[in-house]
A and B are shown apart, each in its own frame.
Chain A
Amino acid sequence: MLSCQNVRVQFGGITALDGVTFDVAKGEIVGLIGPNGAGKTTMFNCISRLYPVHGGDILFEGRSLLAEPPHRIATLGISRTFQNVALFDTLTVADNVILGAHGHAHAHAKRRFFGEAFRLASALRAERALADEAAELMAELGLESVAQRTARDLPFGTRKRIELARALAARPRLLMLDEPVAGLNHAEIDELTGFIRGLKGRRGLTVLLVEHHMNMVMGVSDKVVVLDFGRRIADGPPAAVKNDPEVIRAYLGTAS
């Protein structure tokens, strides 16, 4: 489904990604791990087209993403969350989630501009449909009670759930989660891990996640890709990767 081939990225003289290759198959949950600065988030930003790619290619369902502008990525079926949670802070939770659907609601955007200006029934109906869909997602993530609150006013754990709901509102086929459980407490981590596992079964989603919480990644992933200093050093099922000497060296710095 997603195929990163020999991806290379440079910032000034620093090589952030040095020929990274890995595949994500349809329906899989793939964990992308590695020490700080290994290039995990850089990889995400390449797929989102936020960073320029200097070599290699990224294919999604057989088509190169490198020719697409950043705002087309969501429409193609990829949505994501951010490491430091990027919400629309002055909008309500409901509006945040509704805006998540912009990628697929977008086809009618021009018609809706005039429809809304003159309050035509079709535009009001479209708005209602979006609101209903968002309401379902918010219910699923336990956000009903804060639906009309401003996103800025809510605690970190709730903000993470809003971001996840927004990403799902785009009806993605590939969901990219950047450190979904960072900064959450034990109960929240268990809950979210369960939710992510459930996504696969119910929605037939493919998930690519970056995470530092080892128990979580190893527990939830079908496959784990390990990066270190911009290179892929391991790729395989969690059990095999965990015992890979190269991975242990990267994490623990054992003398080789």
Chain B
Amino acid sequence: MVAGAFDRGIAGAQRDGVARRALSVATVVAIVAACAIPLWGSPYQVFQMTLVVIDAIALLGLNLLTGYGGQISLGHGAFFGVGAYTTAVLIHSWNVPYLLTLPCAGLVCLALGFVFGLPAVRLDGLHLALATFALGVVLPQVLKYKGIEAWTGGVQGISLEKPAVPFGLPLSPDQWLYCVALAVAAGLFALARNVMRGATGRVIVGVRDSPVAASSVGIDTALTKAATFGVSAMLTGIAGALSALVVQFVGPDSFTIFLSISLLVGIVVGGLASISGAVFGALFIQFVPNLADDVSKAAPSAVYGVVLIVSVYLMPYGVSGLLRKAKARAFAWIDARHSRSVTSQPTKPTKQGS
């Protein structure tokens, strides 16, 4: 007996099969397209798409916290920055191999996020937003602090060299970095999807929906929130670390509060509490400002603002919400068609793929 089979007849099963096939086709197309970009794209396009992949990881992290966990962070740019600086300092001051700096940046941000999350669990809604806002505002100042200038380079920041392409692969350094970012993103997205589908995802959403009920079924709500904060910061920090490698530079003013805000814009436009939403959000925050610049050199912010308002108005649940709605429509259409065909002809036993 399968619990998931409740409330689904033969039509439902067939419909789910169609949906699953359509979804896997779409996923395969997306993956092939993503892998093909470095082959055909210009160096600048490859660079841009690398940033999209990196932003997608950062948004995945923020969406875990804000979309699934219901905790608003206005300061995730700070974790992005800490991740970037961790990588830059490790490479610059200690000559650590660049790939090894990625998990290091993740761990630093995991710890930082968890520690920040512990007191923050007592704050809710607007108060938490303000506390994280403070974090975002403070970081650039801290990075300029004289006492740590030897490592951070103070206001000058740190410049990095492009990592060499290994194994004599016929790729440019930019293409290689794109592949690294894509591989990291693929791994993190798969893990996040698996975790959020299972018991952990249920617990995180449960705490968001009703803290009182969550505690009554035995969930440690404070620990859950702090751990969510930590994992969220870790993902965003890894994204920051990748960005340091790709941009080859970190400076205190690369990680202002505006970065935090645009991350928040990304998850809302992409779709809250949705794994795929992070990808759509990343495309938005990477390309819409450029697009706005093309439309009007004089007032790109105004164009950006209008696009933002229109997309929030037309897609209140983000791009992924829109796609979900389209899927529901398609299901209804398939069901209707199926029930018509049932009345006109006897049903043949359907072959089920295993």
A residues contacting B by CB (< 8 A) are 48, 50, 69-75, 79-80, 82, 86-91, 94-95, 98-106, 109, 112-113, 116-119, 123, 127, 130-132, 134-135, 138, 144-149, 166, 170
Residues of B within 8 A of A116 (CB): 194-195, 197-200
Residues of A within 8 A of B219 (CB): 71, 99, 102
Q: Does chain A have a CB within 8 A of B221?
A: yes
Q: Closest CB of chain B to A228's CB: distance in Å?
A: 26
Q: 9 tightest CB-CB pairs across the interface, nearest first?
A: A103-B218, A74-B218, A116-B198, A131-B3, A86-B213, A147-B6, A88-B209, A135-B3, A70-B215
Residues of B within 8 A of A48 (CB): 215-216
Specify which of A70, A82, A118 is in contact with B194 (CB 8 Å cutoff): A118
Residues of A within 8 A of B202 (CB): 88, 91, 95, 98-99
Asked, given contacts A102-B203, A116-B199, A116-B200, whether A148 binds B4 with beta carbons under 8 Å apart, the answer is: yes
Residues of B within 8 A of A74 (CB): 216-218
Contact A99 B6 (CB under 8 A): no
Q: Closest CB of chain B to A107's CB: distance in Å?
A: 10
Contact A102 B218 (CB under 8 A): yes
Q: Measured between alpha carbons, how far is A104 from B208 in the docked complex, in Å?
A: 21
Q: Measured between alpha carbons, how far is A95 from B197 in the docked complex, in Å?
A: 11
Residues of A within 8 A of B200 (CB): 109, 112-113, 116
Q: Measured between alpha carbons, how far is A113 from B202 in the docked complex, in Å?
A: 12
Q: Mark each residue of chain B from 196 to 226: 1 if its CB lies under 8 Å from any CB of chain A, else 0.
A: 0111101101101110111111111100000
Residues of B within 8 A of A170 (CB): 217-218
Number of interface residues of B (CB under 8 A): 32
Question: Can you give 18 contacting A-B residue pairs, CB < 8 Å?
Answer: A48-B216, A71-B215, A71-B218, A73-B216, A79-B216, A80-B216, A88-B209, A90-B208, A94-B6, A102-B218, A104-B218, A106-B218, A109-B199, A116-B199, A117-B194, A131-B3, A131-B4, A138-B6
Q: Which of B2, B7, B221 has the most CB of A within 10 A?
A: B7
Q: Measured between alpha carbons, how far is A86 from B198 in the docked complex, in Å?
A: 22
Q: Measured between alpha carbons, how far is A73 from B350 in the docked complex, in Å?
A: 49
Q: Measured between alpha carbons, how far is A192 from B316 in the docked complex, in Å?
A: 40
Q: Does chain A have a CB within 8 A of B33?
A: no
Asked, given contacts A86-B212, A113-B200, A116-B198, whether A100 binds B217 with beta carbons under 8 Å apart, the answer is: yes
Contact A127 B199 (CB under 8 A): yes
Q: Closest CB of chain B to A39's CB: distance in Å?
A: 19
Contact A71 B205 (CB under 8 A): no
Q: Does chain A have a CB within 8 A of B191?
A: yes
Contact A88 B213 (CB under 8 A): yes
Q: Measured between alpha carbons, how far is A98 from B200 in the docked complex, in Å?
A: 12
Extra 9 A-B pairs, beta carbons < 8 Å, given A82-B212, A88-B205, A170-B218: A71-B221, A86-B210, A91-B205, A94-B4, A117-B195, A118-B194, A132-B3, A148-B4, A148-B8
Contact B3 A123 (CB under 8 A): no
Q: Measured between alpha carbons, how far is A32 from B273 in the docked complex, in Å?
A: 41
Q: Measured between alpha carbons, how far is A135 from B209 in the docked complex, in Å?
A: 22
Chain B 259-281 interface residues, beta-carbon cutoff 8 Å to A: 273
Q: Closest CB of chain A to B186's CB: distance in Å?
A: 14
